[in-house]
Amino acid sequence: MLGMNEIDREDFRNLLDEIGRTRMPFGKYGPKEHPPRGYPIYDLPVEYLTYFKERGFPKGRLGELMEWVWELKANGMDPIFDPIRQQNGGRSRFKPRRPTEWDFGE
């Protein structure tokens, strides 16, 4: 993975565009808890990303993108994702799924 000092402006724009389109495909931020596509990786909490940093990011492109997001957030650059958030209707909120049925024990 290229470091932040080794990437040119156009590549960085492309990287941010790809990050903006990528959603978590598994886990508590995946489609099961955040239907239909999962949580955007740019809004994942830094603590969650740090967990992966310490134990290893997923293999492949998803892991590379998550590592970039962690790097940017860990260096205080979270506002760089604000234009992506505005384009997508604001910051994603983590809300646990509500039950769709209730049993009142008639």
Average the pLDDT over 57-83 and give the result: 95
> What are the CA-CA distances from residue 23 to residues 19, 29, 31 (Å)?
8, 9, 9
Say which range, 14-28, 42-56, 67-81, 82-96, has the weakest mean pLDDT.
82-96
Tell me the DSSP string of 21-50: H-B--SGGGSTTTSTTT--BGGGS-HHHHH
Does the structure show a pLDDT above 80 at 20? yes
Average the pLDDT over 10-23 and give the result: 94
Percent of the chain at pLDDT > 90 equals 67
- Tokens for 53, please give them: 């940093």
Give the closest residue to 64 by CA, choosing from 78, 75, 49: 49
Does the structure show a pLDDT above 70 at 5? no
